[in-house]
Amino acid sequence: MTAYEKICAARDKDRPTATKYIENIFEGFFELHGDRRYADDSAVIGGLATLSGRPVTVIALERGADTKDRIARNFGSAHPEGYRKALRLMRQAEKFHRPVICLIDTSGAYCGIGAEERGQGQAIAENLMAMMSLKTPIISILIGEGESGGALALAVADQVWMLENSVYSVLSPEGAASIIWKDASKVEEASESLKFTAQDLLSFGIIERIFAEPEGGDFSPLYEELRQALVQTLEQESTLSSKTLLKTRYEKFRKIGRQV
Amino acid sequence: MMLKKSMFRKPKIELEGYDKLQQTSSPSVPDEMCVSCPSCKTMLFSNDLWEHKYVCPGCGHHFRVNARQRIAFICDEDSFQEKDADFSSEDRLGFPGYAAKLKAAQLESAEKDAVVTGFAKISGYACGFFVMEPYFMMGSMGTIVGEKITRLFEEATERKLPVIGYTVSGGARVQEGMFSLMQMAKTSGAVKWHSDAGLLYITILTNPTTGGVTASFGMEGDIILAEPEALIGFAGPRVIEQTMRQKLPQGFQRAEFLLDTGFVDHIVDRREQKKTLAHLLALHEGGGNA
């Protein structure tokens, strides 16, 4: 598939969204609402679950299952209160020594007057800083689209995984086409140039792992594969001291673009 | 100090208009030593402007200044020791037009990349100091910007020094793709380690500070200052207008608006900034965990 075909696949309206992953990978998901500051942002789902018996915190960007749901969830574009809810739940996970698993599927942070008034930039910045020193393992999985700081705000993780046809980009190819080419029709060219596919990012050392997507649209084998991978990785990571965990996490990002 | 002609050019598109600026690179102000304030139209002599730190003495309009000028305004004379001055960006993705754009930006700004970092003294107080460069692709954050800022925080942590940083940025450097986005995480990590060592970090947000810089080290200061009327936000106003299909209210995303909504500690006139910074540094003297 070309980069443009991949982003179309990632955006396909029939592609499973985060809720499906939560239902199929974890047991007994109990949702926790609200950021305790302003509101509950339904673009971000967060809560408690078990993963093969181990309690975990799950945080996900949810695009919505149908049109009505998508509108209610702003198509998975979070407001500052969504990022603040995520941060609240991460700190709670740290307190109770639970790992955090983030599922990412968003075309970016919500762009609008309210989001700016309530400090979209500050909310994202605070998450980046806090996640860098969160003393519990974090694994982030890109399941569809992951664009801009709005995706990164849930992806400062020890492991960043991508599905085969998911994308992870500094901004949308439409945005790049209009900024760089001043021509909205250059989306395919922008898609190629941005190098946002899982395969590109694995080769750059920006992500750790790619999961193949089953042919024919039945994701059941994939959910099982993800579940096993999460169990295994968390087993390994829970043996690390928090000092080693944080040092390794810092170094993982530190090395990107290091000058010697 | 060299007077930059481009300083008096009326900014056409504040955030992404650097390529347009290149097309109109003939000076709009002839070589005479006189300019008109774009805000109140008062005629100003450039010598006077320098003395007023490029603030219109009539109406207080803050002219755009480059990184070297800010260093001269804030740091004690000859105290600035630059770091990593030879780092310059590579075209890692082979992005169409990027190599040429980098060359043009280097010519336009006389800098290697969009941030100048180093160690300096401000009224005798030692600190790490960085200034982003508006004339280099409007301070867009690429790998080198992230790397230089990260290295500055790492060294400041080692030397137990505070960091003072001036931001100006249109956001991520699109031409570096995900390498650019990752610099937000990387710099935030370096700021966090510096912070956890009990050290002070002050940001001064200048016009414009948007996108990935706002959403990382711009908003991570212990104390966040801003220049009057500076545009500060995550999404740029043009993007919001296009998305919302409505005009934004007067003063939206300006420094005064952020002060009202609680995201900025104080707005400080450029002519007062050195005094303010020295005062804040004095209050935190001997900082850092034992």
C-alpha span between B106 and B100 (Å, rounded): 10
CB < 8 Å to B218, chain A: 121, 125
User: Who's near B165: CB < 8 A, 6+ residues apart?
Assistant: B129, B130, B131, B149, B201, B202, B203, B204, B217, B221
Q: What is the CATH number of the domain that holds A213?
A: 3.90.226.10
Same domain, B40 and B94: no
For residue B213, being part of any structural domain is answered with yes
CB contacts < 8 A (A, B): 170
For residue A92, being part of any structural domain is answered with yes
> Cβ–Cβ of A119/B185 closer than 8 Å?
no
For residue B6, being part of any structural domain is answered with no
Same domain, B141 and B81: yes
Same domain, B203 and B94: yes
For residue A194, being part of any structural domain is answered with no
* Tens-digit pLDDT profile for residues A42-51: 999 999 999 9
pLDDT number for residue B6: 53
CB < 8 Å to A171, chain B: 172, 174
Kindly state whether B157 is in contact with chain A, defined as any CB-CB distance less than 8 angstroms.
Answer: no
Tokens of B287: 């900082």
Full-model pTM: 0.93
Low-confidence ranges of chain A (pLDDT < 50): none
> Cβ–Cβ of A194/B211 closer than 8 Å?
no
> Cβ–Cβ of B216/A124 closer than 8 Å?
yes
Which segments of B124-248 are extended strands (E)?
125-132, 163-169, 201-209, 223-226
B36 three-state secondary structure: strand
Kindly state whether B250 is in contact with chain A, defined as any CB-CB distance less than 8 angstroms.
Answer: no
User: Looking at B8, B41, B63, which one is the last position of a domain?
Assistant: B63
* Tens-digit pLDDT profile for residues A185-225: 999 999 999 999 999 999 999 999 999 999 888 999 999 99
On whether the CB atoms of residues B276 and B225 are closer than 8 A, the answer is yes
Q: Which domain holds residue B77?
A: 64-283
The mean of the pLDDT values for chain A is: 97
User: Looking at B14, B44, B63, which one is the last position of a domain?
Assistant: B63
For residue B2, being part of any structural domain is answered with no
CA distances from A201 to A124, A189, B75, B249 (A): 22, 18, 41, 40
* Tens-digit pLDDT profile for residues B227-256: 999 999 999 998 898 888 878 999 999 999
Residue A103, classified by CB atoms within 10 Å of its CB into exposed (0-12), middle (13-18) or buried (19+), is buried
Q: How close B169 comes to chain A (CA, Å)?
A: 13
**DSSP annotation string for B217-263:** GGG--SEEEE-TT-BB-SS-HHHHHHHHTSPPPTTTTBHHHHHHHTS
Using only the alpha carbons of chain A, give its radius of gyration. 17
Residue A183, classified by CB atoms within 10 Å of its CB into exposed (0-12), middle (13-18) or buried (19+), is exposed
> Cβ–Cβ of A201/B220 closer than 8 Å?
no
On whether the CB atoms of residues B93 and A193 are closer than 8 A, the answer is yes
CA distances from B16 to B19, B136, B279 (A): 8, 11, 36
On whether the CB atoms of residues A108 and A171 are closer than 8 A, the answer is yes
The yes/no answer to whether this complex scores an ipTM above 0.90 is: yes
For residue A81, being part of any structural domain is answered with yes
pLDDT number for residue B26: 46
Same domain, B40 and B97: no
On whether the CB atoms of residues A146 and A197 are closer than 8 A, the answer is no
If one counts the domains in chain A, the total is: 1
User: Who's near B10: CB < 8 A, 6+ residues apart?
Assistant: B28, B38
Q: Which residue of A has its CA nearest to B189?
A: A132
CB < 8 Å to B183, chain A: 256-257
On whether the CB atoms of residues A101 and A192 are closer than 8 A, the answer is no
pLDDT number for residue B4: 52
Q: How close A204 comes to chain B (CA, Å)?
A: 9
Same domain, B48 and B192: no
Question: What is the β-pairing status of strands A54-61 and A100-106?
Answer: parallel
Element (H, E) at A209: strand A209-211
Tens of pLDDT along chain B (290 residues) come to 445 555 554 444 445 444 444 444 444 444 457 889 999 999 999 888 999 999 999 999 999 999 999 999 999 999 999 999 999 999 999 999 999 999 999 999 999 999 999 999 999 999 999 999 999 999 999 999 999 999 999 999 999 999 999 999 999 999 999 999 999 999 999 999 999 999 999 999 999 999 999 999 999 999 999 999 999 999 999 889 888 887 899 999 999 999 999 999 999 999 999 999 999 999 999 777 75
Same domain, B56 and B163: no
Kindly state whether B214 is in contact with chain A, defined as any CB-CB distance less than 8 angstroms.
Answer: yes
Residue A89, classified by CB atoms within 10 Å of its CB into exposed (0-12), middle (13-18) or buried (19+), is buried
pLDDT number for residue B13: 44
> Cβ–Cβ of B235/A115 closer than 8 Å?
yes
User: Who's near A64: CB < 8 A, 6+ residues apart?
Assistant: A17, A70, A71, A72, A73, A75, A76
Q: Return the amino acid letter for A19.
A: T
For residue A234, being part of any structural domain is answered with yes
> Cβ–Cβ of B234/A168 closer than 8 Å?
no
For residue A183, being part of any structural domain is answered with no
Q: How close B59 comes to chain A (CA, Å)?
A: 27
C-alpha span between A163 and B172 (Å, rounded): 25
The pair phi, psi for residue A108, each rounded to 5°, is 130, 170
pLDDT number for residue B7: 54
For residue B170, being part of any structural domain is answered with yes
C-alpha span between B46 and B66 (Å, rounded): 15
Which residue, chain included where needed, has tokens 């968003």? A106
If one counts the domains in chain B, the total is: 2
Q: Which domain holds residue A226?
A: 3-167+205-247
The distance of Cα A5 from the centroid of its chain, to the nearest Å, equals: 21
Tokens of A164: 């085969």
Same domain, B233 and B141: yes
> Cβ–Cβ of A206/B182 closer than 8 Å?
yes
CB < 8 Å to A109, chain B: 234-235
CB < 8 Å to B215, chain A: 120-122, 124-125, 128, 149, 153
For residue A179, being part of any structural domain is answered with no
CB < 8 Å to A180, chain B: 96-97, 174-175
Kindly state whether B169 is in contact with chain A, defined as any CB-CB distance less than 8 angstroms.
Answer: no
Kindly state whether B198 is in contact with chain A, defined as any CB-CB distance less than 8 angstroms.
Answer: no
Q: Which of A119, A122, A195 sits opposite B93 (nearest CB)?
A: A195
> Cβ–Cβ of B263/A119 closer than 8 Å?
yes
Kindly state whether B186 is in contact with chain A, defined as any CB-CB distance less than 8 angstroms.
Answer: yes
